[in-house]
Amino acid sequence: MKISLIQPSRNNLKYLKWSYDSIRKNQGDHEVEICVADDFSNDGTWEWCQERMENDSNFKAIRNEGPTRLGHTILYDKLINEVATKDICMIYHADMYLCPGALDAIEKHIKEKTIVSLTRIEPPLHPPGPEKILQDFKTEPEEFDEQGLLDYIESRESSVETTEGIFAPWAFYKSDFQEIGGHDPLYAPQSKEDSDIFNRFQLNGVKFIQTWEGFVYHMTCRGSRFNPTLTTPGTNSSEWDAQNLRSTRNFIRKWGHFCKHDALMKPVIPPKYNIEIRLDNPNLNLVEALEPWCTSMYVENEDLVKEYIKKEQSNTKFDLNEKFRNLLTYPIVVRIDGNRFTQQDFQTIQQLTEIIKDSGSIGKFILGNLEITINEMNEIQNELIFIDTQYNGN
């Protein structure tokens, strides 16, 4: 199999070296092209990349000269579209060790319209889940218990060959990636771009396979969230927290719900509807809480709207002026009295698309303190498969 591994990197050179060594050691008889994007690092990453390119004909690298960070949402796509030469690619993190036989497991299942994820073996830094294996073989390259990991894999027995689910590292045909336009720059520099593209793959008919015969050891989150150059060990960096909040709000604006998946990480995609919120007796906190959950919003207090847009517009590519200026009556209208709005009402808003889907009926009804009018129930989530970079809110 010929495959390109896609690895953006920012100030995590020691992990990148560790990952590189594991790939070259355990790639077997596969032709593996390693494609790295240095995102304006200052730890010697680019110098190391230049040295690798001189000595490894299957190593390719590009550099963001900065000073602005691009993030992996952008750099994944630059590597796939401009650098990788193989038909099959794999999104791969710098803090991953490629285990022996992993690429054999991918080759066994990979085909067009099918994405194959390797199973992650991780130290217990996050809660357990049925899609991964928690085993501690250390969290830094200098402490890594390689032999312990190899012995564990050799002795491990499993009756399960595959399950459905998708997460890094995931291998795919470049043509399937390019067909839907790749990652959405809405989420740059990072966070939620994976959940977004997974939804779009699934809606476009792509199937997901997680193989339990191929593994990576994943030290987890060393690129940004737990990168020791950005934060104290085991805690989120403030940069990651701020961007995760922005990306979560943008995901809701686009899809109308939080990121959802089943226990094995297969996406769950509720319907998307055009919903208008009409807010009486508003305040700034209410506008901020409710705005991402609708297609358009009517607030009579123009000064309040201007204050909110000034605060929020820099956090999204959606045109908030259009969102508040739009005078169309959308198929679903939710009227809210800010003086009576409760936390239970907000929970209802967060589940509204599922509630509307389950109701299956046209008409007007009261739910808590919400007055909901359903004129049509046209689902529009399939309109989100392909990238729309206009973000006019419609």
Does residue 264 fall inside a structural domain? no
CB atoms within 10 A of CB 251: 23
> What integer pLDDT is reported at residue 229 of this predicted model?
58
Mean pLDDT of all residues in 239-250? 93
Mean pLDDT of all residues in 39-51? 97
Query: Does 78 lie in the same domain as 108?
Result: yes
Mean pLDDT over each residue of the chain, to the nearest integer: 94
Q: pLDDT tier at 393 (50, 70, 90 boundaries)?
A: very low
Query: Does 280 lie in the same domain as 251?
Result: no
202-235 pLDDT, tens digit per residue, is: 999 999 999 999 999 999 976 655 556 555 556 7
Helix (H) or strand (E) holding 203: helix 193-203
**Sheet of strand 370-374: strand arrangement:** 296-299, 275-280, 332-337, 370-374, 363-367
Does residue 355 fall inside a structural domain? yes
Does residue 394 fall inside a structural domain? no
Is the alpha carbon torsion for 25, 26, 30, 35 positive or negative? Answer: negative
Question: Do β-strands 31-39 and 96-98 pair in parallel, antiparallel, or remain unpaired?
Answer: unpaired
261-282 pLDDT, tens digit per residue, is: 999 999 999 999 999 999 999 9
318-365 pLDDT, tens digit per residue, is: 999 999 986 667 899 999 999 999 999 999 999 999 999 988 788 999
* Last-in-domain residue among 190, 220, 255: 255
Q: What is the pTM of this model?
A: 0.94
Question: Do β-strands 296-299 and 207-218 pair in parallel, antiparallel, or remain unpaired?
Answer: unpaired
Look at the chain and report how many structural domains it folds into. Answer: 2
> What integer pLDDT is reported at residue 158 of this predicted model?
85
Query: Does 324 lie in the same domain as 227?
Result: no
* Last-in-domain residue among 255, 290, 325: 255
Q: Which domain holds residue 218?
A: 2-255
288-312 pLDDT, tens digit per residue, is: 999 999 999 999 999 999 999 999 9
The SS3 call for residue 352 is helix
> What integer pLDDT is reported at residue 329 of this predicted model?
73
- pLDDT higher than 50, residue 394: no
Query: Does 54 lie in the same domain as 169?
Result: yes
CATH number of the domain residue 178 falls in: 3.90.550.10
CB atoms within 10 A of CB 223: 24
Q: pLDDT tier at 166 (50, 70, 90 boundaries)?
A: very high
> What integer pLDDT is reported at residue 8 of this predicted model?
96
Does residue 89 fall inside a structural domain? yes
Residue 309: alpha-carbon gap to chain centroid:
26
Query: Does 204 lie in the same domain as 301?
Result: no
Question: What percent of the chain has a predicted confidence (pLDDT) above 90?
Answer: 88
Mean pLDDT of all residues in 64-92? 97
